[in-house]
């Protein structure tokens, strides 16, 4: 079937901002494999965060230069690389003018909620980095490549946990006898999540005022490490964060299980969110790219495949551990965040499926393989990094100058 293949075999010139990161690297290889021309733009600041926090990815990742060379050796495909900060407009202008993308995928933001809640300086950095970077991208498109489709990563966290169904970006409201379709109300709960809300509003305006074409992908929590391309060679391996600042729910649990650390369920564990496999992330990006938004259109897709509560995830990891002979315990730790621990949650996510997404559901096989990766690299785990280290209420103006576990 041609469903989801959009303009048939048309190959795109895709510039991936944040292409050295967790989602960006996997996406770059996937698109390159599919015959698209790919450039990576990244300041490598994510690697700096690890140095500064004293954290490390579970999986030993190679330098971007080595990764790109290995991909060339294995696939014959070239990935253009531009090292720089999208907040630096001169740099971005140079990169965009020289590559001339028809699609820009924007992953290049500070993406950890706890990082944004560490201290004032990092809160300000996060909103500046993300909001100004995205403004620069909008201006670069308007000026230099006005036909270029922007595919921007947002987060399901923009919606918060309203007591009504979450729609994909917009909601039709009838009020006092009149009706309109309006942006879905946003209730984000960290300075990081808020930065994405700000981006979404800026994007909607740029599409309306300037006729830009943009897709906002409100992504759920991504889990997993391997994609067919990143598992071709250890030099291509993707990052897997498990620490209390950059690690996300399911990935963290698997690493905790592998080293015999109790799963750290925050509070009551009833917090329900949307999740997806990294293999679906790369496919969703591909689907959005080959079926672009129209000029002037601001589209929003909710990008996740299944909903789980934190307790659901703990139970699944416990069961998968048993199968592998690992005894998994759970510890309810004090919730460092300010969030509802029991709430209604029902979020729509049909638009990417309509474009052709065939989800990888979180099954035993995935959990086994993720747990096995965690077991393989268990000796790299720093137990000090596992506990949550950042409190939503204790954030202050004094800079945190040591690694979180030492706070």
Q: Which residues are catalytic?
A: 155, 192, 196
Residue 104 as a binder of its own copies (CB under 8 A): the answer is no
Binding mask 140-169 for its own copies (x = CB under 8 A): x-xx------------------xxxx----
Residue 204 as a binder of its own copies (CB under 8 A): the answer is yes
Q: Which does 221 bind (CB under 5 to 8 A by kind): ligand NAD, its own copies, none?
A: ligand NAD
Nearest to 131, CA basis, from 201, 211, 204:
201
Q: Residue 227 is encoded by which pair of tokens?
A: 């994609």
Residue 173 CA to residue 86 CA, distance in Å, equals 37
Q: Which does 180 bind (CB under 5 to 8 A by kind): ligand NAD, its own copies, none?
A: its own copies
Residue 393 as a binder of its own copies (CB under 8 A): the answer is yes
- Candidate list 180, 234, 342, 354; residue touching its own copies; CB under 8 A: 180
Residue 91 as a binder of its own copies (CB under 8 A): the answer is no
Nearest distance in Å: CB 7, ligand NAD: 25
Nearest to 105, CA basis, from 22, 215, 21:
215
Residue 221 as a binder of ligand NAD (CB under 6 A): the answer is yes
Q: Which stretch binds its own copies (CB under 8 A): 35-43, 58-66, 128-136, 376-384?
A: 128-136
Residue 208 as a binder of its own copies (CB under 8 A): the answer is yes
- Candidate list 45, 53, 131, 314; residue touching its own copies; CB under 8 A: 131
Residue 64 as a binder of ligand NAD (CB under 6 A): the answer is no
Nearest distance in Å: CB 151, its own copies: 21
- Residue (205 or 361) nearer to its own copies, CB: 205
- Candidate list 107, 159, 253, 301; residue touching ligand NAD; CB under 6 A: 107
Nearest to 184, CA basis, from 195, 200, 208, 203:
200
- Residue (165 or 354) nearer to its own copies, CB: 165
Is 7 exposed, middle or buried (CB count within 10 Å of its CB: 0-12, 13-18, 19+)?
Answer: exposed
# chain residues binding its own copies, by CB under 8 A = 54
* Stated length of the chain: 407
Is 125 exposed, middle or buried (CB count within 10 Å of its CB: 0-12, 13-18, 19+)?
Answer: middle
Q: Residue 254 is encoded by which pair of tokens?
A: 């698997």
Nearest to 218, CA basis, from 347, 27, 356:
347
Q: Which stretch binds ligand NAD (CB under 6 A): 216-224, 294-302, 332-340, 382-390?
A: 216-224
Residue 89 as a binder of its own copies (CB under 8 A): the answer is yes
- Residue (285 or 328) nearer to ligand NAD, CB: 285
> What is the contact surface with ligand NAD in residues (CB under 6 A)?
18, 20-24, 42-46, 85-87, 107-111, 129, 133, 153, 155, 219, 221-222, 248
Chain residues in the site for its own copies (CB under 8 A): 89, 93, 120, 123-124, 127-128, 131-132, 135-136, 139-140, 142-143, 162-165, 171, 173-176, 178-180, 182-191, 194, 197-198, 201-202, 204-205, 208-210, 338, 344, 392-393, 395-397
């Amino acid at each position: 079937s041609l469903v989801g293949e959009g303009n048939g075999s048309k190959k795109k010139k895709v510039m991936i901002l944040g292409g050295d990161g967790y989602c960006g690297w996997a996406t770059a290889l996937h698109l390159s494999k599919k015959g698209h021309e790919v450039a990576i733009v990244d300041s490598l600041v994510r690697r700096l965060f690890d140095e500064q926090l004293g954290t490390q990815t579970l999986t030993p990742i190679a330098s971007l230069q080595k990764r790109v060379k290995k991909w060339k050796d294995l696939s014959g495909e070239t990935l253009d690389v531009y090292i720089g900060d999208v907040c630096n407009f001169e740099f971005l202008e140079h990169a965009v003018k020289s590559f001339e993308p028809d699609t820009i995928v924007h992953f290049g933001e500070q993406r950890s909620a706890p990082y944004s809640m560490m201290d004032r300086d990092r809160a300000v950095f996060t909103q500046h980095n993300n909001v100004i970077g995205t403004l620069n991208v909008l201006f670069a498109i308007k000026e230099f490549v006005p036909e270029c489709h922007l595919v921007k990563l947002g987060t399901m966290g923009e919606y918060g946990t309203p007591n009504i169904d979450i729609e994909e970006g917009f909601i039709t409201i009838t009020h006092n006898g009149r009706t309109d379709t309006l942006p879905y109300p946003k209730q984000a709960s960290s300075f990081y999540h808020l930065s994405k809300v700000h981006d979404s509003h800026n994007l909607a305006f740029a599409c309306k005022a300037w006729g830009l074409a943009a897709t906002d992908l409100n992504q759920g929590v991504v889990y997993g490490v391997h994609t067919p391309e990143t598992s071709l060679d250890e030099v291509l391996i993707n990052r897997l964060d498990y620490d209390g600042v950059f690690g996300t729910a399911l990935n963290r649990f698997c690493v905790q299980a592998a080293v015999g650390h109790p799963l750290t369920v925050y509070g009551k564990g009833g917090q329900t969110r949307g999740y997806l496999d990294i293999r679906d992330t790369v496919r969703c990006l591909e689907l959005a790219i080959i079926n672009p938004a129209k000029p002037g259109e601001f589209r929003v897709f909710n990008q996740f495949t299944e909903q789980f509560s934190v307790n659901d995830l703990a139970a699944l990891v416990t069961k998968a551990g048993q199968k592998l002979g690992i005894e998994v315990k759970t510890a309810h730790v004090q919730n460092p965040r300010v969030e509802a621990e029991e709430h209604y949650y029902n979020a729509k996510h049909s638009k990417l499926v309509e474009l052709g997404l065939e989800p990888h559901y979180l099954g035993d096989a995935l959990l086994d393989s993720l747990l096995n990766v965690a077991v393989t690299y268990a000796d790299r785990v720093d137990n000090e990094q596992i506990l949550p280290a950042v409190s939503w209420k204790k954030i202050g103006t004094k800079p945190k100058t040591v690694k979180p576990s030492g706070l």
